[in-house]
């Protein structure tokens, strides 16, 4: 069973008489999506110990839930006020803003429940919880998000913009790789390599997203584009052509760095990432 099948076959179920709470919990989660973060995690596990894939599936789902919570909140009127996500109405448009806030909260919390009840050793689960909470919490994604919102209409330097998105985007992508490495018990040195690679990969993803937001339609992107006109972006700071040059340069750098990772992981990630390295070109 691949991850998409696992996700679709394991909906969140809740004992409630609320008319649409359970439906709302699964609404954004099950929309059309790349599932990039869980795929990173599972690629590492499959490369090193495929027998652990069934045990890793709940962790991959937890990671996808956590990422989905962040998207739901990011789309809210007080943030990006987006109307389209994953090819369908955003959650606050489908239902209401209160539902979107609480469903986001629920997915955040449920992600850690899934990790805590996964069929893995307690030590491994504690490490996974630590990685996800660090990447997504006080010094990670929330830090990036609050900087992003506070500095609307105030231009950041290139270094500040990179720092913003290392927190908001890159740390969770790096955590996905590290979590896969923890599940298969990689040595600390290999985990550090995965983290460094993941941070650069996350930065590439953000530059690409800024380019996509500028040049793709809502239909092609499956989400609201050109909605961040008041926020800082690599396109605004560098211009579209220099942003593309930066993405190309970083993609080439990552292709070279792949060769210095564990050989089995390198091969697995190369297979996954070949369709992502140059996605800003529409490839």
Dist. CA 251–CA 156, nearest whole Å: 24
Q: What is the DSSP letter of 276?
A: T
pLDDT at residue 228, rounded to an integer = 65
Per residue in 179-197, is it b (16+ CB within 10 Å) or e — as a string? bbbbbbebeeebbebbbeb
Q: Is the distance from CB of 269 to CB of 36 less than 8 angstroms?
A: no
3-state secondary structure of 157: coil
Lowest mean pLDDT among 167-171, 221-225, 244-248: 221-225
pLDDT at 227 over 70: no
Nearest 10 degrees: CA dihedral of 227, 228, 233, 239?
Answer: 50
Higher pLDDT, 103 or 280: 103
Q: What is the pLDDT of residues 173-199, one digit of tens each?
A: 999 999 999 999 999 999 999 999 999
Backbone angles phi, psi at 256, to 5 degrees: -70, -40
pLDDT on residue 283: 46
Share of the chain above pLDDT 90, in %: 89
How far does Cα 258 stand from its chain's mean position? 20
CATH at 136: 1.10.600.10
**Residue 169 · residue 144 · CB < 8 Å:** yes
pTM for this one? 0.95
- Predicted local confidence at residue 217, as pLDDT: 79
Distance CA 143, CA 168 (A): 7
Report pLDDT digits (tens) over 4-40: 999 999 999 999 999 999 999 999 999 999 999 999 9
The pLDDT, as a whole number, for residue 145 is: 96
Token couple for 69: 């919570």
What confidence score (pLDDT) does residue 279 get?
87
Number of domains present in the structure of the chain: 1
Mean of the per-residue pLDDT values of the chain: 95
Separation between Cα atoms, residue 177 and residue 130, nearest integer Å: 14
pLDDT at 240: 93
Is the pLDDT assigned to residue 237 strictly greater than 90? yes
- Is the distance from CB of 183 to CB of 120 less than 8 angstroms? yes
- DSSP helix/strand/coil, 166: helix
Give the tens place of pLDDT for each residue, 75-110. 999 998 999 999 999 999 999 999 999 999 999 999
pLDDT tens digits, 114-154: 999 999 999 999 999 999 999 999 999 999 999 999 999 89
Mean per-residue pLDDT, 50-67: 98
Q: Which domain holds residue 166?
A: 3-281
Q: Which of 61, 68, 64 is nearest to 103 (CA)?
A: 68
Mean pLDDT throughout 211-223? 81
Q: Rg of the Cα trace of the chain?
A: 18
| Chain segment 260-270, per-residue pLDDT in tens | 999 999 999 99
Asked if residues 107 and 25 have their Cβ atoms less than 8 Å apart, the reply is yes
């Amino acid at each position: 069973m691949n991850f998409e099948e696992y996700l679709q076959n394991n909906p969140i179920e809740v004992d409630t008489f609320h008319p649409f709470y359970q439906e709302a919990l699964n609404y954004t989660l099950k929309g059309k999506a790349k599932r990039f973060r869980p795929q990173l995690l599972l690629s590492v596990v499959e490369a090193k110990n495929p027998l652990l894939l069934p045990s890793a599936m709940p962790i991959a789902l937890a990671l996808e839930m956590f990422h989905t919570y962040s998207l739901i909140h990011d789309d809210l009127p007080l943030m990006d006020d987006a109307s389209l996500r994953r090819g369908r109405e955003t959650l606050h448009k489908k239902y209401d803003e209160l539902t979107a806030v609480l469903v986001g909260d629920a997915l955040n919390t449920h992600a850690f429940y899934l990790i805590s009840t996964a069929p893995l050793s307690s030590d491994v689960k504690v490490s996974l919880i630590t990685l996800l909470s660090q990447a997504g919490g006080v010094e990670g994604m929330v830090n990036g998000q609050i900087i992003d919102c506070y500095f609307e209409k105030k231009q950041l330097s290139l270094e500040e913009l990179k720092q913003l998105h290392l927190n908001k985007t890159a740390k969770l992508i790096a955590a996905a790789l590290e979590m896969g490495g923890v599940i298969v018990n990689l040595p600390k040195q290999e985990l550090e390599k995965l983290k460094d690679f993941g941070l650069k990969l996350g930065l590439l993803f953000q530059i690409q997203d800024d380019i996509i937001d500028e040049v793709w339609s809502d239909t092609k992107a499956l989400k609201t584009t050109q909605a961040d006109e008041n926020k800082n972006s690599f396109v605004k700071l560098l211009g579209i052509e220099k942003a593309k040059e930066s993405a190309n340069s970083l993609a080439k750098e990552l292709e070279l760095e792949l060769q210095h990772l564990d050989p089995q992981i390198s091969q697995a990630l190369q297979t996954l990432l070949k369709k992502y390295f140059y996605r800003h070109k529409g490839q």
